[in-house]
Structure 1
Amino acid sequence: MDKKLGRPRSEETKKAILTAAYELLSENGFDTVTIEGIAERAGVSKATIYKWWPGKAAVVLDGYFAATELLLPVPDTGSVKEDLFQQFNNLSIFITSPKGKMITELIAAGQFNPGIAEEYRVRFFNPRRHISRGILERGIARGELRKDLDLERSIDLIFAPLFYRLLITGDTLDSAFIRELINDIMKGLGQ
């Protein structure tokens, strides 16, 4: 009696789709990726992709972040200053790497496509902001930061110089810059 192979498990199928989306993004850039291409490479139907993702931007970004998620560990050293340095140093290393540079392409595409912009906010920036918020909250709890700190504005103050250099000036994003940035910001956020 022969065993029927049946369909692959859902997680295996999702992984194949995410891998295909990331590979196509890496090979050709966001604009050339299609749901049809992802489906073909993953060996699934378009309907299978739409079962889990609302469209191209969502699946491509999930594929991208699934492939790169381990590059951005969440620090918890016991020091808000060191945690912020590690978080933003890891982020700067990532966004200036070949894999990370794709984020600038996605940001550019998002300027003309609100759906893409929403997807990268939800899948990349909001999680980074959530991590920063946790770091600042721990700093407040330990007495390293003012209790009346506006957390959202503080997070904006930290992210803004990083992305200004990345997207506007092209100036160096290195550990020395990140250390100086965090030192300056801590002067304003501290007691």
Structure 2
Amino acid sequence: MSDVKPIRRGRPRSVETEEAILDSAYRMMAVDGLSTATIDAIARESGVSKMTIYKWWPSREALLIDAFLRQAASMLPIPDSGDAVAKISRHASAYAVALSGEFGKVQLAVIAECIARTGSARLFAERYLGARRDVVVKIIKAGQKDGSVTSTEPPADLYDRIYGTLFYQDAFGFRAATAENARKLVKAVLTGA
């Protein structure tokens, strides 16, 4: 095998252009709804050609997910200080609050779009949930190792119980997504308290 990397044709991807596209896509989804966030409209709003957008994203759904992911990363950073329970409690609390606002509406719309277009939410899970889930699962594993997480259930199952419950309860209106409810849920799932 050769260590020579293939030569990429065309200009390198511009960070400013990418940000303009993602910002425009998210803003359109949040303000006017998903149906207005077409490739044509995003191109006009961002001042970028449709050709550039199609070159960088394989589908409209992938672009919308990436726009959502960028917003999530800025709104919901995963804390890096404190023990596992404290980190996850802060993150889950912020997620619960975000669910009750514009962010939650956009998340539901993007998931629905993925399901409507492809028959599953797999693309959303791969592009958005996978990486974030992996980070939090590692935090839970570390917590089990240092004793701050007393549950012995598999870390991925614990993650799903916390974030799946928050999403489910909020999406279907069974319980208000509040920071306090999230903190109680995290404590109950991770420590049994």
How many equivalent pairs are there?
A: 183
* Alignment correspondent of 1:162: 166
Q: Kindly state the Cα deviation for residue 116 of structure 1 after the two structures are TM-superposed.
A: 7.4
Corresponding residue to 1:39 among 40, 43, 62: 43
Whose relative contact order is higher, 1 or 2, with alpha carbons under 8 Å and at least 6 apart?
2
The CA RMSD over aligned residues, in Å, is 2.6
Q: Identity of paired residues, percent? A: 30
TM-score calculated relative to the size of structure 1: 0.82
* Alignment correspondent of 1:15: 19
For 1:71 and 1:116, the matched residues in 2 are separated by: 26
Question: Is 1:174 aligned to residue 146 of structure 2?
Answer: no
Question: Is 1:60 aligned to residue 64 of structure 2?
Answer: yes
Letter in 1 for 2:178: D
Q: CA separation of 1:13/1:187 partners in 2, compared to 1, >3 Å: closer, same or farther?
A: closer
For 2:182 and 2:23, the matched residues in 1 are separated by: 32
What stretches of structure 1 move > 6 A for 4+ residues in a row?
A: none
Following superposition of structure 1 onto structure 2, how do residues 32-181 of structure 1 map, counting pairs within 5 Å? 32-114=36-118, 117-145=121-149, 149-181=153-185
Letter in 2 for 1:58: A
* Alignment correspondent of 1:4: none
Letter in 2 for 1:76: D
- List gaps (5 residues or longer) in structure 1: 1-6
Q: CA separation of 1:58/1:186 partners in 2, compared to 1, >3 Å: closer, same or farther?
A: same
